[in-house]
Amino acid sequence: MKKKKVLICVAHRDDETIGCGGTISKHVANGDRVYCFSLTDGVSARINKKTNDEKIRLKNSIDASEILGFKWIDLIEQFEDNEMDKVSLLSVIKVIEKVKKKINPDIVYTHFDGDLNIDHRIVSQAVLTAFRPIKGEKVEKILFFEVLSATDYSSKNFIPNYFNKIDKYWKKKDKALKAYGDEIIKTKTSRSLEGVENLARYRGNFCGYRYAEAFKLIREINKND
């Protein structure tokens, strides 16, 4: 089978691992090239932000990428964390379109458009606009993933219709989650390591496997003649 180019579009570094870390690792194992980019630094909005938080988050994200096997795309243009609603949607779309032109992906993963987090919702909407199905568009598939503490806290239901078995890749996802340190909460919340594993087991129950990641398939185009 033809190897695919996969693009993961996230608002914050760690969303990719929480939402689809097992799927990323599976793509890489299948020989696909996986790229990811984040549109904010993920920490600037914090009340108790420390001076080196951004550097720590960056280092942790690189460690996670090396574990899962994907490559980060460095963006010159980034937006303020949890304040993406202060900029025009068009400006976000333009950044995504630049990445699109550079990578020319076959498959795109991004946030659920009903997430509680405002950055997630804006990135989701911008991705759908940037990859709208016009003449010459290459992308074959767009999927939304779920991010614990954003998707599960929303009043809008995430109803998955696409599941990916990750039994072989759970350990790598778990290791990548741990690379993010305190970003993965140690107390008993959905965003804890236990919470993420519980969700993977729960989604596995949907399709008869031990672990799975769930997605909402937004668009799939069969381009065969």
* Domains detected in the chain: 5-220 (3.40.50.10320)
Q: Which residues contact 201 (CB under 8 A, 6 or more apart)?
A: 210, 211
Report yes or no: 5 and 32 within 8 Å, Cβ to Cβ: yes
Interatomic CA distance for residues 111 and 117, integer angstroms: 10
Interatomic CA distance for residues 45 and 132, integer angstroms: 31
Q: What is the pLDDT of residue 1?
A: 67
Q: Helix crossing, 170-179 with 15-29: angle to 10°?
A: 140
Interatomic CA distance for residues 203 and 151, integer angstroms: 14
Report yes or no: 75 and 37 within 8 Å, Cβ to Cβ: yes
Burial class of 76 by CB neighbour count within 10 A (0 to 12, 13 to 18, 19+):
exposed
E strand or H helix that includes residue 125: helix 118-130
Q: What is the pLDDT of residue 49?
A: 56
Report yes or no: 127 and 158 within 8 Å, Cβ to Cβ: no
Q: What is the pLDDT of residue 41?
A: 81
Look-up of token digits 């550079």? 102
Interatomic CA distance for residues 72 and 138, integer angstroms: 21
Q: What is the pLDDT of residue 51?
A: 58
Q: What is the pLDDT of residue 36?
A: 98
DSSP 143-170: EEE--TTTSTTSSS-----EEEE-GGGH
Q: In this structure, which amino acid lies at residue 215?
A: F
Q: What is the pLDDT of residue 55?
A: 87
Query: What region, left, alpha or beta, does residue 89 occupy, with left being phi > 0 and alpha being psi -120 to 50 degrees?
Result: alpha
Q: In this structure, which amino acid lies at residue 219?
A: R
pLDDT in tens, the chain (225 residues): 689 999 999 999 999 999 999 999 999 999 999 999 999 986 665 556 555 778 888 999 999 999 999 999 998 778 999 999 999 999 999 999 999 999 999 999 999 999 999 999 999 999 999 999 888 889 999 999 999 999 999 999 999 999 999 999 999 999 999 999 877 876 778 889 999 999 999 999 999 999 999 999 999 998 777
Interatomic CA distance for residues 209 and 118, integer angstroms: 33
Q: What is the pLDDT of residue 121?
A: 98
Q: Which residues contact 153 (CB under 8 A, 6 or more apart)?
A: 116
